[in-house]
Amino acid sequence: MKRRRDAEPGTVVLLLSGELDHDTAAPLRNALEENPGGGRLVVDCAGLLFCDSTGLNLLLRARLRHLAEGGRVDLAALRPPVARMFEITGARQVFRVYEDADVALRDRRSSV
């Protein structure tokens, strides 16, 4: 998990890679705790090969925290296996999902 540095002020872009599951969730959990809920968080999933319910729950909780503070969490570049998990759980409907992080960053609409 890395942080992209070229986002505008108030926006954090997290770059996920590999697998996001119970055993690998700690870096994302820490990054989410470091980012207060008032801004915008774009989660770039271009390098994410797998996500289980642990990862999904981390993202859903971050979304709720950001919404409560007037911010939002967006997803970008969902690969087919990860996109399918978001679809079958219904979680895809609660996030804005973008083709890639650059498209997400160009969208300056306010929250939900």
Residue 94: pLDDT over 80: yes
Q: 97 φ, ψ to 5°?
A: -120, 130
Extents of the domains making up the chain: 2-106
Confidence of residue 110 (pLDDT cuts 50, 70, 90): low
Q: Please state, in angstroms and rounded to a whole number, the distance separating the CA atoms of residues 53 and 111.
A: 25
Per-residue tokens: 4: 């992209």
The hierarchical CATH code for the domain 2-106 is: 3.30.750.24
Residue 77: pLDDT over 70: yes
Buried b (16+ CB within 10 A) or exposed e, 38-61: ebbbbbbbeebeebeebbbebbbe
Residue 112: pLDDT over 60: no
Residue 58: pLDDT over 70: yes
Query: For residue 31, what pLDDT is reported?
Result: 93
